[in-house]
Amino acid sequence: MNDINILFYLTYTEIWKKKMCEPLLTVTPKSCLQDEKIVLKVTGLVSGSPYTLTSHLQDSRKSKYFSYAHYFADRDGTIDTSRNESYGGHYKGVFQMGLIAGLKPAPDEYQYLRIFKRDVENPDEIEFRLYENFITAEEVFASSFLVNVFHSRHFMGPGVERITIRGRRIRATLFIPAGEGPFPGVVDMFGTAGGLLEYRSAQLASRGIASLALAYFGYDDLPKNLEELDLEYFKAGVHVLLSHKKVKKPHVGAIGVSKGADVAMIMATFIPEVKCAISINGCISNLISPFRVTNDYIIPHLPFMYENIKLVNKTDLVINDGYANPEDYPETIVPIYKSDAKFLFIIGEDDMSVHSRRYAEISAKLLREANKEKNYKICSYNGAGHLLEPPYSPLCFSSYHKVYDIVLLYGGEIKKHTEAQEKSWVEILNVIKENLDNAQSKFADRDGTIDTSRNESYGGHYKGVFQMGLLAGLKPAPDEFQYLRLFKRDVENPNEIEFRVYENFVTVEEIFTSSFLVNEIHSRYFMSPEVEKISIKGRRVRASLFIPAGEGPFPGVVDMFGSIGGLLEYRSAQLASRGIASLALAFFGYDNLPESMEEFDLEYFKEAVNILLSHKKVKKPYVGAIGVSKGADLACAMATFIPEVKCVIGINGGISPMVSPFSVTNDYIIQPLPIVLKNVKVLQNIGFCFNESYVEPEDWPETIIPIYRSNAKFLFIVGEDDKSINSKYFAEISAKLLREAGKENNYKAIITRICSYEGAGHLIEPPYSPLCFWSYHKTYDSVFVWGGEIKKHTEAQEKSWVEIINFIKENLHAPQSKL
């Protein structure tokens, strides 16, 4: 081929590539609430070629913000921000929401602007663009893009009502959720930036919480600066909130960040109607200005040591070392120990504004000393900064502070900060709804309605307000064997639930002999549309593989149950419905597997891992393992001896093999933990409680699974009313072993007081699975007691399911190939 032909060939090839690869940029959904994720995807690209994706926002003051990231197209000519890795720009690695959370001032803007929403009634309009090659921040604004798409992010959900409040003293905005209500209510406050910030209240109302965004200085005719604050002003705010007909009586909550956090704690201490307080990176002492509680009682502010301020880059101030130690100035401490309210302390461990973790620990100490250790919860987030906002608010690492006329550093590492916003938002919504969901009427309401989400039950299978009680409380009918365990066998078909209404209070027996007034049928699915179920019959393995809808690849887990045996598919089906490929693995009592629990062999579980990884839609090279009871110790063994298993969820399991030996090699067999039969307790002369019958694992070290050798991450989920094994104790031993091996970052133990599942039993399932307090165990031909109190157990299932999904996705989000 001569030079002319070569030149023609190369030119034609490039023209053909461009013609055949017309890029298409899509965002799903096109419009959503601000706290919801999107999937940004580009197709029709040249495989292996470099591209730059950008996002652009202009706020209501015409200030411009942008973010950019560098990607290589996959082998199929695709970029998907939910699975592809960024190689440069404002962030690196896989970061689905990076182009929104990473928004910063454009190069020609003042670089210390803080981006926040001012006009909450209008959405943010985000423009996404695709550029050819890797380009710099400056080139973004000087180059032509290949394709673009627009996306709307709403701060107020449909039907949310915004009401301007201008009382005798109060300056505020009230947000009321859509619907009839009544709704739990909170007073919402920010910090030393002053003014009236509405975006968090708008988002709270979009999630079913009435919220009063309250200004207390720097707005309208309020004082311009933080002078002495007065409790009477905040009492008026509470009364305004409670006066709305759609706000639940008689209690409300308070939420605040920074200075607003110590105000929220003062309100919970001195205003009886405030029954829960959320402190986001706040202090246990009153900060900056005096706070007048009564004419005779003023809480002074914590002294500030200006000599301890640090200067960074000649312009930016780190002030967290400036505040004195609260314990050296007890008169400044808010006496929260006098309050019966519930406290949630949200902490960013990279907070450069205040030492929020230290202050939360002092708060916890004060409450414990007052015997109120159940009145608080601490949620601490590594890498998160001071300004923890609702999800996907862009990280504000530093900004100009107009009140002090300086640049303050707030801290935070973008990916970890965003993750903290996601998790803390769930915590915030839960603590408000849990603590402000008051009982309503004994019979039908005054308007002739019963709503299970707000009305109280006065008898039956449960009492009190329990929205999901009629599902979580399902039990065998009177004419059935009373020790049946209810679980789903045919996951491809939904459960059809019939709800009925009877006149008067009827007994269990009368339900089946009386006529009902009206009924309604409801379907509950275990597999979402297009989830694929594949029956697996390998060389030895018997399993079912569930693959999520979509192109993938998806994180994958091996899913195992306990001593009941057989092939249980319902958890795997639900995991796949949440974007996780799951192999439901039988290991005895199914098909041609052994009928009982004999010695287990590592090779069997290795084969299962290989089957999971061999599917084209499962992410390589690692998977996870999840198990309950006996399945939990098998999962720990897999993570210890199978390198491809990089994360483990143990639900009420042991640190030693239970019941049967585990063969690692021909020469290494881990023996089961012995049982002392005389320690087995019998409940009501029929049900066996085994939780006190196992010997101490540390007295039998040869039975301990050496998880300290593993580099996997471990999540231990514990029900504190577990009657089958002492799972809390075993999880504590596991945590101790990992700490002693220098792997304290390799586990998250849901066993401590601050994150415990009080009242939860042994069989913690996906949410709204009915509580199984006890059941007939066919393997042992006996009734086993599993434990659990129905409402607390259901709550544990809700919360642990979120932990499980997040843990799997966080630890198996393998980086993609650039080709």
**CA-CA distance, 253 to 433, in Å (whole number)?**
10
8 Å CB contact between 794 and 764:
no
**CA-CA distance, 483 to 485, in Å (whole number)?**
6
Is 386 catalytic? The answer is yes
Nearest to 818 by CA among 84, 94, 99: 84
What single letter denotes the amino acid at residue 499? F
Dmax over CA atoms of the chain, in Å, equals 98
8 Å CB contact between 121 and 152:
no
Cβ-count burial of 168 within 10 angstroms (0-12 exposed, 13-18 middle, 19+ buried)?
A: exposed
The catalytic residue among 74, 351, 633, 721 is 351
Q: Cα-flanking dihedrals φ and ψ of residue 753, to 5°?
A: -60, -35
**CA-CA distance, 551 to 816, in Å (whole number)?**
14
Torsion angle in degrees (nearest 10) through CA of 28, 31, 34, 38: 0
Is 800 catalytic? The answer is no
End-to-end CA gap in the chain: 29
**CA-CA distance, 593 to 699, in Å (whole number)?**
33
8 Å CB contact between 141 and 21:
no
Mapped onto helix, strand or coil, the DSSP state of residue 398 is strand
8 Å CB contact between 741 and 708:
yes
The catalytic residue among 355, 386, 615, 793 is 386
What single letter denotes the amino acid at residue 282? G
**CA-CA distance, 635 to 651, in Å (whole number)?**
10
Q: CB neighbours of 514 closer than 8 A, spacing ≥ 6?
A: 502, 506
Helix H or strand E segment including 234:
helix 231-242
Cβ-count burial of 613 within 10 angstroms (0-12 exposed, 13-18 middle, 19+ buried)?
A: middle
Per the DSSP assignment, residues forming a β-bridge with 543 are: 536, 585
8 Å CB contact between 650 and 619:
no
**CA-CA distance, 294 to 232, in Å (whole number)?**
9
Mapped onto helix, strand or coil, the DSSP state of residue 256 is strand
DSSP state string for 477-503: -TTS-TT-----S-TTS-EEEEEEE-S
Nearest to 817 by CA among 21, 48, 40: 48
Beta pairing, strands 687-689 & 681-683: antiparallel
The catalytic residue among 67, 86, 211, 258 is 258
C-alpha distances (whole Å) from 790 to each of 464, 488, 769 are 12, 19, 11
Q: Just list the catalytic residues.
A: 258, 351, 386
